[in-house]
Amino acid sequence: MDVFNVTDRDGNKVRDKKIISCIQTSLESDACYFPTLRNSVGIMSSEENTSIELTGTDRPGLLSEIFAVLADLNCNVVKGEVWTHNTRAAAVVHVTDESTMGAIEDPQRLSTIKKLLFNVLKGDNTSRTAKMMVSRGLTHTERRLHQMMFDDRDYERVRVIGEGDEKSRPRVAIMDCSEKDYTIIILRSKDRPKLLFDTVCTLTDMQYVVFHGTVHTGSSEAYQEYYIRHVDGLPISSEAERQRVIQCLEAAIERRASEGLELELRTEDRVGLLSDITRIFRENGLRIRRADISTIEGKAVDTFCLSEMSGNPVEGKTIDSLREQIGQTILKVKQNPLPPPKHPESVSTTGFLLGNFFKVCSLQSFRLIRSSS
């Protein structure tokens, strides 16, 4: 039995009966179990749009160049997500043909899109391979982005100027529970939406099964504890495996936890809109850390997480310049829903485990996401 105490994004009790009914319907069906997609592309077909997956080295202006190529090829981006982490970038974008407003069918045109986007991704960097794939659509974008970045080995730590100090990073500890033949994983990090999803997706994609779990969130910090085994029934047995799990969980939490200015764009959708917007960001010396792109009834509703190229926060005069160029009513600063992080007290991992073991709700036989469908 799994028990969850949940609130909406603003921390309020969920009272909307439509939302409650939607949650109940989803949990009672197979829709909440996401198939593993790592080694396959285009499993789910869509007549409405074409899905494009991209991974490569992050650099200034990369997203602007990608959207410019798509605009030149008469492709309209109707939905997408972009993540950057540890000098790597991954994106899943859904595009339509400008003339038909549907999926792109012409094989020659798809080949041209692949070739041009691959050249943009590759750039002048030959140290790591860029990847670009075209399919008819995927079921769960965020799950796929985790898999793409995991396959791209973004968890291998690279020191980047302006990425923050070590104290602000997630903390992961792994212990043995020899009497029950489990491995215990403890995570402490800043709380944020979808943190649980990111953690459990990663454990599942690494072929681990969660048998018991506890999750507790305070005013700003989240505590997670899982009892796991590998799908072969064995706990973590080597130091190399232990370190890899720690690295991968840290990366999973950090991928969309980067600090930065969040701007929301709302305007009439058109081909080339994203190319123009991201060009303005680049010309103002800004770096796109994350992007969430959507189209609702002909309206573009996009969110961008930005910082200066150096990684420093965006200055107020730059924000004013952006709003003047794009439009005061079109571009707005989106408030951060989470309070500023507090410096955690210095407590040993073992002490924290024992002190919190009985104060959080238990999730027995935790099966949010299965390791196989």
For the record, the structure tokens of 58 come out as: 């992050």
Q: Give the domain ranges of the chain.
A: 50-154+258-333
Mean pLDDT across 346-371: 43
With H, G, I as helix, E, B as strand and everything else as coil, classify residue 166: helix
Range in 37-41, 140-144, 162-166, 310-314 the model is least confident about:
37-41
Work out the pLDDT band at 338, boundaries 50, 70, 90. very low
| Beta strands 171-177; 131-135: pairing state | unpaired
Range in 20-24, 231-235, 280-284 the model is least confident about:
20-24
Judged against a pLDDT cut of 50, whether residue 326 lies above it is answered with: yes
Say if residue 32 is exposed, middle or buried (CB neighbours under 10 Å; 0-12, 13-18, 19+): middle
Greatest Cα pair distance, the chain, in angstroms, is 64
Judged against a pLDDT cut of 80, whether residue 37 lies above it is answered with: no
pLDDT computed for residue 63 by the predictor: 94
For the ranges 51-55, 256-260, 335-339, the one whose mean pLDDT is highest: 51-55
Q: Which residue has the higher pLDDT, 79 or 34?
A: 79
pLDDT computed for residue 352 by the predictor: 45
208-227 pLDDT per residue, tens: 999 999 999 887 899 999 99
For the chain, state the CA radius of gyration.
21
13-24 pLDDT per residue, tens: 888 888 888 878
Judged against a pLDDT cut of 90, whether residue 47 lies above it is answered with: no
pLDDT computed for residue 165 by the predictor: 57
150-205 pLDDT per residue, tens: 999 999 977 655 555 566 789 999 999 888 899 999 999 999 889 999 999 999 99
> Contact at 8 Å (CB) between 257 and 189?
yes
**What is the spatial distance between Cα 8 and Cα 193, in angstroms, rounded to a whole number?**
9
pLDDT computed for residue 19 by the predictor: 83
Instruction: Please state the pTM of the whole predicted model.
Output: 0.79
Judged against a pLDDT cut of 80, whether residue 303 lies above it is answered with: yes
**What is the spatial distance between Cα 308 and Cα 306, in angstroms, rounded to a whole number?**
7
H helices, E strands: number in the chain: 9, 13
The alpha-helical segments, DSSP class H, found in the chain are 17-27, 62-72, 107-122, 141-151, 195-205, 239-254, 273-283, 316-326, 349-356
For the record, the structure tokens of 371 come out as: 């390791």
- What topology does CATH give the domain 50-154+258-333? Alpha-Beta Plaits (3.30.70)
With H, G, I as helix, E, B as strand and everything else as coil, classify residue 119: helix
**What is the spatial distance between Cα 156 and Cα 144, in angstroms, rounded to a whole number?**
19
Percent of the chain with pLDDT over 70: 78
pLDDT computed for residue 209 by the predictor: 96
pLDDT computed for residue 21 by the predictor: 82
Q: Which residue has the higher pLDDT, 275 or 361?
A: 275
Range in 20-24, 77-81, 128-132, 297-301 the model is least confident about:
128-132
Range in 139-143, 219-223, 339-343 the model is least confident about:
339-343
pLDDT computed for residue 10 by the predictor: 72
pLDDT computed for residue 367 by the predictor: 44
Judged against a pLDDT cut of 90, whether residue 76 lies above it is answered with: yes
Range in 179-188, 262-271, 337-346 the model is least confident about:
337-346
